[in-house]
Chain A
Amino acid sequence: MKLVKIDKKQWVEGLNALRKSFRLLGPVKEDTYYSFKELKKGEQPDFSFLNTRLSPKSLLFPQSEAIVEYSLDSREEDHHVMKAIEADESPRAVLGIRPCDAKAVTLVNLNFDTPEYKDPYWVKTLATTTFIGLACDNPKSTCFCTSVGCGPYHEEGLDLLLADEGEKYLAKILTEKGQKFLEAAGWETVDEDTTLFDSKKEAAEDKITSTVATNNLKDQDLLDLHGAPFWEEVSFACLNCGTCTYTCPTCWCFDLQDEVHGNSGRRFKNWDSCMFPLFTLHTTGHNPRGTKLQRVRQRFMHKLKYFVDKYDQGIMCVGCGRCVNQCPVNIDIRRVCALMNDYKADERVCAVQE
């Protein structure tokens, strides 16, 4: 493990040097919330946040992204021929991404970068991005990352991990990209002593007291869980507002829509949500997930069972707690996970069947 000390007095100067080779993105405060934005010249990332309201998944998977363009003007040679809009491939660095959100990128990557098909917009943007993580020394009460294969100092998906230590940052180099980032910034003071970093990590992990158990999910029968009686109660208060799916760093579902102005048009990839009835509505009027119960069940079954069975990489959740914090009716994925993990189908045999 290689640690580099960054004196905070050299922070702004380093960032200015980095701007020569990177577009910089980071958390900024907007009203009462924080969100990830491209930093303007001279603008600094604001690291005083606990977590951003929306996850930074939009940096790789924008809420609305133009992917294809065309002309409808029949006087033009290539009219109605649809052409790819190429992704911006200039190098960028995301400053201060939380370890949970970085791990989420690796989970979403399973969907967009597959052996058969690759989403070129996601894949190219990911390849050109350097992720500078910011370790969490003061997690929120709703953080449960340590029990879902993640943690406040987790390294997956990151190129460099910063830990805040008063007058300085301790930067742990995780990849060659991270090394190059440090070189471009001119931060090269190696710290031989890793004990402080390690003890900070341990202390931070100890602060995460909220946990979920996921150990039985893989062995649970898929159809038993799907038919479990608790979905009625879990979904009862749901408004199908979609907040959970929009704030979630691992939700990846999207829609494709055309937009035309005059004679030129573009096709967009837009975030969509399994909470919306239109998501699955057939033209015939038939809807395979026409009820709220079916839609709420789909969200949790996808994250906690289908994903587990399909990829064998744990659950499709990094414990960031955003959906828990922001759900207007207090539906809590930790509780649903417990219901699913502890479910015993055979104890629920109906009296009539006996």
Chain B
Amino acid sequence: MEEHVQNPYVPYPVRIDDITVATEDKSLKTFKFIFLNDGDEEKFSYNAGQFAELSVAGIGEIPIGIASSPVEKGFVKFTVFKAGVVTSHLHNMKVGDIMGLRGPLGNWYPWDLLEGKNILIVGGGFAFTTLRSSIVTMLNPENRSKFGNIDVVYGARTPGMLLYKDELIEWEKRDDINMHLTIDAPAEGWEYNVGFTPPVTEQKAPQGDDDTYAIVCGPPVMIKFTLPVLEKLGYAHDHIIMSLENRMKCGFGMCGRCGIGKELVCKDGPVFTLDQINQTPREY
């Protein structure tokens, strides 16, 4: 257990270094942050699957999964959906603006356990941020040999709604990762799968076994129809890994609101196995 000696309420100051529109409907933007103070980047040492509180002075804070990978140095990246007070404000901020970052927070995908295993990643819509972090981490030349087969099923409504599209196309070309991109309905120039994520998972995903783990992130409706598919494919409940969301404030287990039974999504999660989730009251 790592002890955090710093005041956990005080964010690291960061500068917005780059903002890119991430989807064709402009509802998502990717923010690249650079730490203002020497040494803060090292203190913000994270694992794929963790999140942070994006902190805007005078507005508030919002918990967002980290989209960059620990193997990418010099910056951290977050892709943010414009939804509420803080995220709407964030979408209007400019390159060069100063804000804060608190974290890294929460647990991460169980990388020690996943070593030597086949990995199936199932993602939908804009819940692909920590999945991107995970894929970039696993594909890093230093890490790739630590994993078996890597399969990725990622679906969005249209080609323009897929996050990190350039990277997805690059990964399509590689032979050390099996990409199964899909969109809801046929579109001009689209040469990959068509159909919702659950049926594409059923057709393309490898069978579950002791040495294969599934990491699933997506909107509730995708989760609802994907879990039975994974069960059918033979994935045990302790081999299905998910990342939960709940309303949060502190992010480190004290403010009390994100509880699902005795577990706190912010500190005991956000990553849980389906087996663990089944033992909670599912108040998320």
Contacts and interface: CB of A to CB of B under 8 A. Distances in A.
Interface of A: 67-68, 70, 72, 79-84, 111-112, 114-120, 222-223, 226, 252-258, 260, 265, 267, 269, 272, 274, 279-284, 288-289, 294, 298, 301-302, 305-307, 309-310
Given A68-B10, A116-B4, A256-B249, A223 B57 contact: no
Nearest to B268: A310
Most B Cβ at <10 Å: residue of A70, A79, A288, A309 = A288
Contacts of A111: 253-254, 256
B7 interface: yes
B55 interface: yes
Interface of B: 1-4, 7-11, 13, 36, 55, 57-61, 83-84, 87, 97-100, 245-247, 249-250, 252-262, 267, 279, 281, 283-284
A255 B7 contact: no
Nearest to B245: A282
20 contacts: A72-B58, A80-B97, A81-B98, A82-B55, A82-B100, A84-B10, A112-B254, A115-B1, A116-B2, A116-B4, A119-B8, A258-B57, A258-B59, A274-B256, A279-B247, A281-B247, A288-B283, A302-B259, A307-B262, A310-B262
B261 A256 contact: no
Contacts, number: 130
Nearest to B249: A256
B256 A117 contact: no
Contact of B246 (A117, A257, A267, A280): A280
B83 A284 contact: yes
A256 B83 contact: no
Contacts of B247: 279-282
A112 B253 CA distance: 9
Contacts of A253: 255-257
Among B13, B55, B261, which residue has the most Cβ atoms of chain A within 10 A? B261
Contacts of A257: 60
Q: Which of B3, B97, B256, B279 counts the most A-chain CB atoms under 10 A from its CB? A: B256
Nearest to A227: B281
B98 A80 contact: yes
Contact of A223 (B9, B97, B100, B281): B281
A305 B1 CA distance: 25
A232 B84 CA distance: 33
Q: Which 7 pairs from chain A and chain B are nearest by CB?
A: A253-B256, A283-B84, A306-B262, A80-B98, A288-B283, A70-B57, A81-B13
A306 B280 CA distance: 11
A229 to B, nearest CB: 15
B60 to A, nearest CB: 5
A254 B239 CA distance: 35
A70 B100 CA distance: 11
Nearest to A278: B247
B257 A279 contact: yes
A265 B57 CA distance: 7
Contacts of B267: 116
Contacts of B284: 288
Contact of B252 (A117, A272, A289): A117
A5 to B, nearest CB: 42
B246 A223 contact: no
B12 to A, nearest CB: 9
B259 A120 contact: no
Contact of A116 (B1, B99, B256): B1
Most buried by B among A117, A280, A284, A289: A117
B141 to A, nearest CB: 33
Contacts of B36: 81
A107 B81 CA distance: 38
A258 B58 contact: yes
B261 A222 contact: yes
Contacts of A310: 262
A269 to B, nearest CB: 8
Nearest to B220: A286
A290 to B, nearest CB: 10
A298 B281 CA distance: 10
B259 A298 contact: yes
Given A222-B262, A298-B259, A84 B9 contact: yes
A252 B60 CA distance: 21
Given A80-B99, A81-B13, A114 B261 contact: no
Contacts of A82: 10-11, 13, 55, 57, 100
A80 B100 CA distance: 8
Given A81-B98, A306-B262, A68 B9 contact: yes
A202 to B, nearest CB: 37
Nearest to A267: B9
B183 to A, nearest CB: 23
B4 A117 contact: yes
B16 to A, nearest CB: 11
Nearest to B265: A288
